Amino acid sequence: MCGIVGYIGKRDVQPILLNGLSKLEYRGYDSAGIAVLEQDRIKISKVEGRLANLSSRLDEQPLQGSAGIGHTRWATHGKPSDANSHPHADMSGQFTVVHNGIVENYMELKKELEAKGVTFASETDTEVIAHLLAEAYQGDLAAAVRVVIGRLQGAYSLGVMAECEPDKLVAVRQSSPLVIGAGQGEHFIASDISALIEHTREVYILEDGDLAVITRDRISITKAETAEPAERKLLHIDWSADQVEKGQYDHFMLKEIHEQPLTLRNTMLGRINDRDEVVFPELAHAAGAFQDVDKIFIIACGTAYHAGLVGGAVIEKLTRIPVQSDIASEFRYRDPIITDRTLVIVVSQSGETADSLAALHESRRHGAKILAITNVPTSSIARDADYVIATKAGPEIAVASTKAYTAQLLAFYLFSVYLAQERQTLDPARRTELVKGLKALPVQVEKVLENANEVKLFAESIKDADSLFFIGRGLDYAVALEGSLKLKEISYIHSEAYAAGELKHGTLALIEKDTPVIALATHMDLYEKTVSNIKEVKARGAHVMGITVEGNVELLNAVDEICFIPPSLQLLAPILAVVPLQLISYYASLALGNDIDKPRNLAKSVTVE
């Protein structure tokens, strides 16, 4: 979950590395550091804390050179500190490495090295790599890297440089993302395309087991194990540099909340024809592939899991296929019943989520069909799946996911209609009604955003709350789970989401005078029951914010405050209902003075188990 950058060329490397790291802080911000080849010596500057701390140090003591590597850290092995910051070097300082991932057998390797007289300067697993490189080097840096990674167990991507071969960088990928940016007389490495986009849009996506040797004028990619050439396509990235900048917004999260109408339009683009049928050009090779599916698993983590809860309910309703949504980190350990008639849908914004990727591989081992829903069609999950639906949300920088979530919901709605068409379980008139409802969503979300002040005052009023509860029934409960996660992620206010009907089974014991409760009541077929549950918490002194559909003024009789969303088909309400919850989380965190885009202890892309 760390971020790696690297550069070799003719320009001054320090600003390039710092700028790249600024685009990767969402991956971790416990510490940061860079290593620069300066007059045939590698100089390292690294410091605990945010990238700003490193920038300040480098203002006073700059590093000058035209080759270097950098790192921003999310701590796994060893607490955040200067010593545990990357880059790490061997005892001589000749070999330097940055690393994203975990070396699972590092303790065994560390004991072996210590027995040989090696002194360690940090508590990290990464440092063993630098010392092993010094031991393995026999005049060929790439060959030494091959020897070292042959001894490592776990997931990693590496950037390596050495004083003895100053004209090159070596990059390795094994289960952690890494890309190479191709320029003219200069090349780049990074954990994410966003760190490269200002300099080049031509990239190679490394695959597991790839090793790249990079000089100013050449990129050579081979298989690490055999040293045989690995053919990788040079891809052109359509993102603009503006997409990874905040623009007029104070925070990426607010920008990305407001980008949701565009995201929804992009995700629908080219997927609905003039007969109101859902079409997926990218699933053309899947014709008939889902006819014999008798069970569906949806596998995801965090926000993507919440999208899967909604998606699973919609698929079941429209296709009558049994669906089970599972947390990826638990899925493969419970020996799930999977056959060649099982469809496994893996959902991940980054497409690199380690637990989801492991669950995908377990499902494939049992013969399942694999469909990926991801924002990165070049990601590991996308490459390993049989079929891919790209959400087209564009880069999402804030750690708290917003537009990726609503794009995932929309992808599920579209796929549900597509699958129902294929299996002929959806009446054409009902399909047309659903598609028209989907087409209306971008404008309806814009309307919700225009009325942000409806929830801003409530958000500011809860900043001193000890706990907050979300309640809802049906799909409202799934949305409540996502709302609760958002609030916890960035405001640090304790919150829980409950199926409203479960209140009387224990949760009411937690409700006392002035406890804030957010009650979702968008499902009119469950409305009376939800109102009954609202009255239960009101009777115990709760202060209730209700979220319901425009025109349902009756709810004002049961709540203290209310937020209306535009009327839509009940099945589609989750996309509209979640937007006020995102805004509540944002404004509550803003009132508390928190670092909204970089919440404590969290990173966006979880690439370790």
Peptide bond into 15 cis (omega under 30): no
> Nearest-5° angle of CA 334, CA 340, CA 345?
65
Instruction: Tell me the HSE value of 369 on the side-chain side, using a 13 A CA sphere.
Output: 18
**Is 604 among the residues known to form the active site?**
yes
Instruction: Copy the structure tokens of residue 505.
Output: 């089974």
Task: Give the other-Cβ count within 10 Å of 272's Cβ.
Answer: 17
- What is the DSSP secondary structure assignment for residue 525, as one 8-state letter? G
Which of 23, 43, 486, 604 is an active site residue? 604
Cβ atoms of 549 and 575 closer than 8 Å: no
175 by Cβ neighbours in 10 Å (0-12 / 13-18 / 19+) ranks as: buried
Phi, psi of 338 (to 5 degrees): -125, 135
Token pair belonging to 375: 């924002």
Contact 173, 192 (CB under 8 A): no
Cα 555 to Cα 60, 481, 539, 546, distances in angstroms: 60, 22, 16, 7
Asked whether the beta carbons of 542 and 511 are under 8 A apart, the reply is: yes
Can 529 be counted among the known catalytic residues?
no
Between CA 104 and CA 114 the distance in angstroms is 17
Helix (H) or strand (E) holding 354: helix 354-365
User: Residues 56, 96: contact at Cβ < 8 Å?
Assistant: no
d(CA 90, CA 604) in angstroms, rounded, equals: 30
How many angstroms separate the CA atoms of 262 and 496, rounded? 30
Cα 92 from Cα 385, distance rounded (Å): 44
* Separation between Cα atoms, residue 316 and residue 305, nearest integer Å: 16
State both tokens at 514. 């002035």
Cα R_g (the chain), whole angstroms: 25
> Which of 2, 392, 486, 563 does the annotation list as catalytic?
2
Identify whether the C-beta of residue 367 lies closer than 8 Å to the C-beta of residue 338: yes
Instruction: Return the closest-CA partner of residue 76 out of 47, 52, 99, 54.
Output: 99
Rounded CA-CA distance 11/118 in Å is 36
Distance between CA 542 and CA 536 in Å, rounded?
9
Annotated catalytic sites, by residue? 2, 604
